[in-house]
Amino acid sequence: AAWQVAVNAIGCMPGAGTTLWCPACPDAFLGKWTGSISKASALLRHVASASKTGVPESAPKAHAWFLTAFVALLLSSPPPTEDTEVESEERLQEWISSSPPLVNIVGPLLAKPGPAAREAVRAEMEDSESAPWPFGASDAAVEVKKTKKSKKPKVTSEAPGYDLYNEDIPMDVFMACEDHTRRTSDGVPVLDLLSSDEDE
């Protein structure tokens, strides 16, 4: 009853979604759970059932963690218990108006399912024990991408690097130059007067 009251209190706000989703279900899992806010207890039944399944793809450890964290969050500010239904309803409304911690996870559970909303739920529920996958999966994906980018091989060249804007000529380039001009024993260039390049 307390969980349904909490969901109703947030669900009636402008812009709130009308469908609950399970943050413990992996995004790629075909059987991930969603349900109407009018039957909020169905989410808890799903979580309890999925925590006992032997199918790794459904992330049973994440469901067990979510259920344990949910109970701890509820008990951190427990709802009142009254003998009569009328008194119970009145006390529950007072309890909700005090903004118990449980209310903080309702908003993300009514938002669009995805890593951002899941991270918001985890941030409200995580205490000493780290949440298992798929919680925190978005951070892991980012780290993997960063690692892949950092491991790209650097392209290096063994050729010597020359400063093309420097007047100094490297010695290895200078020694490779060949001068084909005919010269005298004194080093004076010999002009070929019969060269075909001159038409005079």
- 44-80 pLDDT per residue, tens: 999 999 999 888 999 999 999 999 999 999 999 999 8
Residues forming beta bridges with residue 19, ordered by sequence position: 36
Q: Residue 131 pLDDT > 70, yes or no?
A: yes
- 115, amino acid identity: P
pLDDT of residue 130: 83
Higher per-residue pLDDT: 19 or 156: 19
pTM: 0.65
Distance CA 47, CA 69 (A): 12
Residues forming beta bridges with residue 36, ordered by sequence position: 19
Angle separating helix axes 115-125 and 137-150, nearest 10 degrees: 120
Rounded to the nearest angstrom, the gap between the alpha carbon of residue 183 and the centroid of all alpha carbons in its chain is 74
Across the chain, mean pLDDT equals: 79
Compute φ and ψ for 137, nearest 5 degrees.
Answer: -65, -35
